[in-house]
Amino acid sequence: MIVLLAGGGTGGHLMPALAIAHELKRARPDVKPVLVGARRGIEATVLPRYPFRYHLLSAEPVYRRQWWRNARWPFIAWRMWREVGTVLDSERPVLVIGTGGYAAGPVLWRAQRRGLPTVLQEQNALPGLTTRWLAHSARQIHLGFPEGREHLAPGPRTDVFALGNPIRPPEQGDRAAALREFGLSPERPTVLVFGGSQGALALNRTVAAAITAGRLEGVNVIWGTGEGHAARFAPLARPGVVVRGFLDPIATAYRAADLVVCRAGAMTVAEVCAWGKPSVLVPLPTAAADHQTKNARALAAAGAAVELSEHELTPRSLADLTRALLGDRARLTALGSGAARRGQPDATRDVVSRIATLLPTPHSLSQV
């Protein structure tokens, strides 16, 4: 029994698909998850590491700033239409799940045209275009933030749930062992810094300058630069500083970290809170509808994180704030407790339990 999961382009869309795929396989061993993404997305390098069959399509995003690049879309759309049809014909799924990204929309739209049941998983408080366009014909919509409901027009057969964003559940383990795996000293405090699968250039430049100036001496740094920036910043690796492209899996890094410095995207926030980690959130100022700032401020107001705007981000401000927090164990504990209160570590299980109601039972399949 095949279930297609379409989503990707960035880790924020791919990781929910992978989390759902793993949980589906655990909950329903008769299900074979098959993932669909884009050749130019992060999934092209990540999916080969996982035990799932996958298809990569000739998808491209709709460019909002460089609008002239959209002139290629009539040709891309025709090629995509044929590729999606081939995938649906060959896999014959019983259900199609979309987690966003520019490869998800065409797959979901054509699946709905064929009468296949579809499920939408929306990470952000402001739903994306794919979710808003396809909500009316979806059987289920799963929201990471309950605020997203007011922006949707679901159909009469659409169930809407707000169970949190599906992440890989935290894997508890020994901090000292995790640090040894990275070659870092357990005696030093450790900060985990990352900007998502694509990286965050402003954050990377600031971390690079802080390290070069010696402002983070005495602090272990686990630094996920993003795949596209890894070669540029790899030379800054040194004793006490680990530089990686895309931290996948990220569990060992979370176990090692006393503090996390990161963007405030929906999936990142969900993950940090599920792990109960104190964090410094640096929102992406150009995010749609400034939703990352909204995320960061909500967590800061709940005592779950510290917000540091990109406007205020400098090597000195980042290093001073990091050192101050790492030196204040009581505040770190309070922030971590606040994050844990906002966390939904069982979101993946809860989401999949609802999705499973749309699947044929093994007994019913045996009668076909």
Please give the pLDDT value at position 76.
67
Yes or no: say if 89 and 2 are a contact pair by the CB < 8 Å rule: no
Max avg pLDDT among 43-47, 76-80, 148-152, 322-326? 322-326
Check whether domain 2-166+346-366 has CATH 3.40.50.2000, yes or no: yes
Residue 124 has a pLDDT of 84
Q: Are 2-166+346-366 and 175-342 equal in CATH topology?
A: yes
Q: Does the pLDDT of residue 291 top 90, yes or no?
A: no
pTM, 2 dp? 0.78
H helices of the chain, in order, are 11-27, 43-46, 73-91, 104-113, 129-134, 175-182, 201-212, 230-233, 251-256, 266-275, 291-301, 315-326, 329-342, 347-355, 362-366
| Per-residue pLDDT reduced to its tens digit, 248-280 | 789 999 999 999 999 999 889 999 999 999 999
pLDDT digits (tens, 9 = 90+) for 221-233: 999 998 889 999 9
What CATH number has the domain spanning 175-342? 3.40.50.2000
Average pLDDT over every residue of 102-122: 95
Whole-angstrom CA distances from 50 to 20, 197, 248, 365 are 13, 16, 11, 27
Percentage of residues in the chain having pLDDT higher than 90: 71
Q: What is the pLDDT of residue 62?
A: 56
pLDDT of residue 84: 94
**Among 228, 216, 225, 230, which residue's Cα sits nearest to residue 184?**
216
- Over the stretch 311-338, which tens digit does the pLDDT of each residue have? 999 999 999 999 999 999 999 999 999 9
Query: Which region, left, alpha or beta, applies to residue 367 given φ > 0 means left and ψ of -120 to 50 means alpha?
Result: alpha
Reported as type and span, the H/E element at residue 4 is strand 2-6
- Closest alpha carbon to 226 in 75, 1, 12: 12
The residue assigned the tokens 């279930």 is: 3
Q: What integer is the mean pLDDT of 55-72?
A: 63
The pLDDT value recorded for residue 64 is 53
**So where are the chain's domains?**
2-166+346-366, 175-342
